[in-house]
Every structure is written in structure tokens, then in C-alpha cells.
């Protein structure tokens, strides 16, 4: 079984920049760096999909802050629900004890 080398983000970027120059085929570049051509195509797709963030780094920060805000709101709602359920459970235990039931 062949072990594949894990490439750093910097190495992937270097490889993708070579691909974008179009001076060599993807297969030639894949052989040169001992990377499967499919991996290079996946990296290229990811690189191009996120290229706009390089021009506007605040965009990703805003998006991540919004995602975080939504998740924090959801967590707050879950905490509220947990508090409600805990209060109901405590009330039921108290009433059960008043009626002689062991909880």
C-alpha cells in the first residue's frame, strides 16, 4: 500500500499557480510533484472558489461572525429550553414527594 505525502497549503498553492500558468499539463505537474491529477483538480477547484476572499479578506470574517452569531443564538435557545425542562422536572419531583411518591 502506497502512502501519499501530505502537502502543506503553501505547496498546494505553488502547484495550483503552476497549473494556472498553463505551461505544463496537469499530468506533467502531477508527475513532477508526485500528486494524483484528481487531487490537483480538486485543489484548483477549491482555490478558484475561494479566490475572492484574497481580494476581500473581511468578507470571510463577516461570514464567519454571522455563522457564529446564529450558532450562539441557537445555543442560547437550547439553554433556555433546558432551564424550562429542569424547572418542570423539579416541580414534578416536588409534587410527587408531596403525594408520597419516591423520585
pLDDT band at 4 (very low <50, low <70, confident <90, very high): low
Q: How many CB atoms lie within 10 A of CB 27?
A: 10
Select from 32, 49, 66 the last residue of a domain.
49
Would you state the pLDDT for residue 103? 61
The boundaries of the domain holding residue 103 are 58-103
Based on the fold, state whether residues 66 and 40 are members of the same structural domain. no
Based on the fold, state whether residues 103 and 70 are members of the same structural domain. yes
pLDDT in tens, 50-89: 998 888 889 889 999 999 999 999 999 999 999 999 999 9
Mean pLDDT, rounded, for 2-19: 88
Based on the fold, state whether residues 1 and 43 are members of the same structural domain. yes
Q: Report the mean per-residue pLDDT for the chain.
A: 92
* Domain count within the chain: 2
pLDDT in tens, 84-99: 999 999 999 999 888 8
Amino acid at each position: 500500500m502506497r502512502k501519499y505525502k501530505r502537502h502543506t497549503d503553501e505547496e498546494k498553492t505553488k502547484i495550483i499557480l503552476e497549473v494556472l500558468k498553463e505551461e505544463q499539463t496537469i499530468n506533467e505537474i502531477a508527475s513532477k510533484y508526485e500528486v494524483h491529477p484528481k487531487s490537483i483538480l480538486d485543489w484548483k477547484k477549491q482555490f478558484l472558489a475561494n479566490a475572492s476572499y484574497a481580494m476581500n479578506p473581511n468578507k470571510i470574517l463577516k461570514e464567519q461572525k454571522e455563522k457564529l452569531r446564529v450558532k450562539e443564538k441557537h445555543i442560547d435557545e437550547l439553554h433556555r429550553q433546558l432551564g424550562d425542562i429542569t424547572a418542570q422536572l423539579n416541580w414534578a419531583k416536588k409534587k410527587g414527594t408531596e403525594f408520597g411518591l419516591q423520585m
